[in-house]
């Protein structure tokens, strides 16, 4: 019975390590999706000279996943004309993505349009390009650490499991 309990505990800690490494991978994918959203918004504003609400509407159709849902909600709420500025609607909707982003990245994403004018495309483009550079650097940094972090999470799960089994044996 002890051996069975030890094996189950060991499997649990190894599983937790694997879960942590998969969460790290999910974080990288979320950052890539946010960077794609920014690229699409920049392209819409530059090429089609669209306003930010129009760009959000067009980009929401091109994207998928949780960011697409948020963009569609922003578009719907902005079309209602309830008197809230676009950046407040954006902040409220984006704050619901906390399970997909780290606190630092989510804060940057939530406040992406704080200092942009509603129809000032030049400021919007500069702000989007600046944030895109920040996200691109973060993605490169996380991908550079991916292998080491995933290996660390998995081996720590195994080591903690073995340590506790030895300690309680």
pLDDT in tens, 52-67: 788 888 888 888 888 8
- The alpha carbon of 158 is separated from its chain's Cα centroid by a whole number of angstroms, namely 28
Q: What is the model's pLDDT at position 153?
A: 93
- Which are the contacts of 95, defined by CB distance < 8 A and separation ≥ 6? 106, 110
Domain boundaries, the chain: 2-168
Phi/psi of residue 112, nearest 5 degrees: -65, -30
Predicted local distance difference test score (pLDDT) of residue 17? 93
Residue 139: pLDDT band by 50, 70, 90 thresholds? very high
Cβ-in-10-Å burial (0-12, 13-18, 19+) of 85 comes to exposed
Per the listing, tokens 């030890």 go with: 6
Percent of the chain whose predicted confidence (pLDDT) is above 90: 28
CA atoms within 13 A on the CB side of 35: 15
* Average pLDDT score over residue span 20-38: 90
Q: Of 28 and 89, which is predicted with more confidence?
A: 28
pLDDT at 116 over 60: no
For residues 12 and 153, is the Cβ–Cβ distance under 8 A? Answer: no
């Amino acid at each position: 019975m002890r051996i069975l309990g030890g094996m189950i505990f060991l499997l649990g800690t190894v599983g937790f390590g694997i879960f942590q490494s998969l969460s790290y991978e999910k974080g990288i994918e979320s950052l890539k999706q946010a960077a794609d959203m920014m690229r699409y918004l920049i392209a819409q504003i530059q090429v089609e000279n669209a306003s930010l609400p129009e760009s959000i509407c067009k980009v929401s159709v091109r994207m998928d996943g949780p960011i697409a849902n948020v963009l569609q909600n922003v578009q719907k709420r902005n079309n209602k004309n309830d008197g809230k500025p676009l950046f407040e609607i954006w902040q409220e909707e984006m704050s619901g993505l906390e399970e997909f982003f780290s606190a630092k990245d989510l804060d940057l994403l939530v406040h992406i349009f704080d200092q942009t004018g509603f129809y000032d495309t030049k400021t919007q483009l500069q702000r989007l390009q600046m944030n895109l550079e920040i996200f691109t650097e973060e993605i490169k940094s996380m991908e550079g650490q991916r292998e080491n972090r995933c290996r660390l999470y998995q081996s720590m799960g195994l080591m903690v499991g073995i340590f506790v089994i030895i300690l309680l044996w």
